[in-house]
């Protein structure tokens, strides 16, 4: 047996339960993009996210208590928890939803899932991990994918979408910053309780924004919108978070990160299937370049 063959033989197989949990996560998160776009037809963005979050928060706190996790937060962790909540929840949930006012669901998915590319840059700045040639190539591919997405249908149409791209890109960059900050200063909290607290604290600014500028009419919602809202709260903001944490415990970090690449693919395909959004050469090229950049960022 050659040395390479011996190395392959010693390589442990991936946990099937971890792979199943990862699949549940990425499918749920991918389907959430067209779901949000559907809800925006009847609810403004902040109110839409808050309604789904209320369901998810209730579920996460209930599950944390059922699992016997402590909900107490040590005083020293509160500043860290608030910062993580603002970056991982407020910026991500608020800005990602807001970008859908200008972008199709598939377009917003592509822009937002450039996250690993920006995370590699913040890892250099915060963790002192300089970017390799592969990560620089990832950045170039990611930016190239954004240019194709914005300008692929002409300059005028691209400029009309530019506010949405800027908002979605801000969501991706700030979420990536939150990921690296959490890695640099981790929180010693049980996983479900941590997710529940971050979701709760992160929704506070969204609540102020909704009260200041929005006038939602929940009584006028259609039955289908209520069903989509329940899905958004129970699935992506509830069960998918639990599945993600469980998958991370069973799979190598690189395998889990690579698996999330299915999320934008599912989001773009679902938007084309359920919303009738265009899935042409521009979208396929932009998605391919973005995923290529993310693969390089993860491997680099």
pLDDT in tens, 72-119: 999 999 999 999 899 989 998 899 999 999 988 988 888 888 877 787
**Whole-number Cα distances in Å, 169 to 4, 19, 109, 136, 231:** 41, 29, 10, 18, 25
Helix (H) or strand (E) holding 186: none
Q: Is 281 part of a structural domain of the chain?
A: yes
What is the rounded average pLDDT of the residues 216-237? 92
**Whole-number Cα distances in Å, 154 to 35, 100, 158, 225:** 28, 20, 6, 34
**pLDDT at residue 4 in the model:** 46
Question: Quick one: pLDDT band at residue 298, thresholds 50, 70, 90?
Answer: low
Q: How many domains does the chain have?
A: 1
Q: Is 188 part of a structural domain of the chain?
A: yes
What is the rounded average pLDDT of the residues 175-202? 86
Output the six-digit token pair for 249: 């415990």
Question: Quick one: pLDDT band at residue 154, thresholds 50, 70, 90?
Answer: low
- The more confidently predicted of residues 297 and 218 is 218
**pLDDT at residue 9 in the model:** 46
Please tell me the distance from the alpha carbon of residue 92 to that of residue 241, in angstroms, as a whole number. Answer: 14
**pLDDT at residue 12 in the model:** 59
Question: Quick one: pLDDT band at residue 150, thresholds 50, 70, 90?
Answer: low
Question: Quick one: pLDDT band at residue 158, thresholds 50, 70, 90?
Answer: low
**pLDDT at residue 151 in the model:** 65
Q: Is 3 part of a structural domain of the chain?
A: no
Q: Is 6 part of a structural domain of the chain?
A: no
> Any idea which residue has 């390799």 for tokens?
132
Q: Is 10 part of a structural domain of the chain?
A: no
Q: Give per-residue burial for 217-227: e unless 16+ CB within 10 Å, then b.
A: eeeebeeebee
Q: Is 11 part of a structural domain of the chain?
A: no
Residue 266 has pLDDT above 50, yes or no: yes
Please tell me the distance from the alpha carbon of residue 12 to that of residue 10, in angstroms, as a whole number. Answer: 6
Q: Is 175 part of a structural domain of the chain?
A: yes
| pLDDT more than 70, % of the chain | 88
pLDDT tens column, 58-68? 999 999 999 99
Output the six-digit token pair for 137: 């190539």
Highest mean pLDDT among 126-140, 183-197, 253-267: 183-197
Residue 100, phi then psi, degrees to nearest 5: -70, -10
The per-residue DSSP string of 217-281 comes to -GGG--HHHHHHHHHHHHIIIIIHHHHHHHHHHHS-HHHHHHHTTHHHHHHHHHHHHHH----SH
- The more confidently predicted of residues 116 and 178 is 178
Q: Give per-residue burial for 159-193: e unless 16+ CB within 10 Å, then b.
A: eebeebbebbbbbbbbbbbbbbbbeeeebebbbbb
Please tell me the distance from the alpha carbon of residue 245 to that of residue 92, in angstroms, as a whole number. Answer: 18
Q: Is 4 part of a structural domain of the chain?
A: no
**What domain range is 70 assigned to?**
16-299
Please tell me the distance from the alpha carbon of residue 187 to that of residue 81, in angstroms, as a whole number. Answer: 7
Highest mean pLDDT among 3-17, 19-33, 119-133, 260-274: 19-33
Output the six-digit token pair for 260: 């999330």
- The more confidently predicted of residues 283 and 254 is 283
Instruction: State the average pLDDT for the chain.
Output: 83
**pLDDT at residue 253 in the model:** 61
Please tell me the distance from the alpha carbon of residue 27 to that of residue 45, in angstroms, as a whole number. Answer: 22
Please tell me the distance from the alpha carbon of residue 48 to that of residue 131, in angstroms, as a whole number. Answer: 38
Q: Lowest mean pLDDT: which of 96-100, 177-181, 196-200, 236-240?
A: 177-181
- The more confidently predicted of residues 292 and 163 is 163
Q: Which residues are CB-contacts of 4 (< 8 A; sequence separation ≥ 6)?
A: none
**pLDDT at residue 73 in the model:** 92
């Amino acid at each position: 047996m050659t040395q390479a063959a011996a190395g392959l033989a010693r390589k442990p197989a991936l946990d099937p339960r971890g792979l199943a949990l990862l699949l549940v996560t990425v499918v749920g998160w991918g389907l959430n993009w067209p779901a949000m776009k559907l809800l925006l037809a009847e609810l403004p963005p902040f109110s839409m996210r808050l309604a789904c979050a209320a369901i998810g928060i209730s579920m996460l706190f209930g599950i944390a208590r059922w699992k016997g996790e402590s909900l107490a937060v040590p005083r020293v962790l509160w500043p860290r928890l608030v910062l993580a909540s603002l970056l991982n929840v407020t910026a991500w949930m608020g800005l990602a939803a807001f970008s859908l006012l200008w972008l199709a669901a598939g377009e917003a998915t592509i822009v937002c899932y450039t996250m690993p590319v920006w995370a590699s840059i913040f890892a250099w700045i915060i963790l002192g991990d300089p970017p390799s040639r592969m990560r620089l190539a990832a950045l170039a591919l990611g930016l190239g994918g954004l240019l194709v997405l914005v300008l692929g249908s002409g300059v005028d149409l691209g400029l009309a979408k530019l506010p949405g791209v800027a908002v979605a890109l801000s969501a991706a960059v700030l979420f990536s910053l939150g990921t690296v900050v959490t890695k640099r200063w981790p929180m010693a909290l049980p996983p479900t309780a941590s997710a529940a607290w971050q979701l709760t604290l992160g929704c506070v600014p969204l609540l102020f924004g909704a009260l200041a500028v929005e006038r939602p009419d929940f009584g006028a919602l259609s039955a289908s919108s209520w069903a989509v809202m329940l899905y958004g709260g129970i699935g992506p903001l509830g069960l998918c978070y639990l599945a993600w944490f469980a998958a991370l415990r069973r799979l190598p970090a690189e395998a889990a990160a690579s698996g999330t690449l299915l999320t934008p693919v599912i989001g773009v395909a679902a938007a084309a299937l359920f919303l009738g959004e265009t899935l042409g050469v521009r979208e396929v090229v932009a998605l391919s370049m973005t995923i290529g950049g993310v693969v390089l960022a993860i491997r680099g």
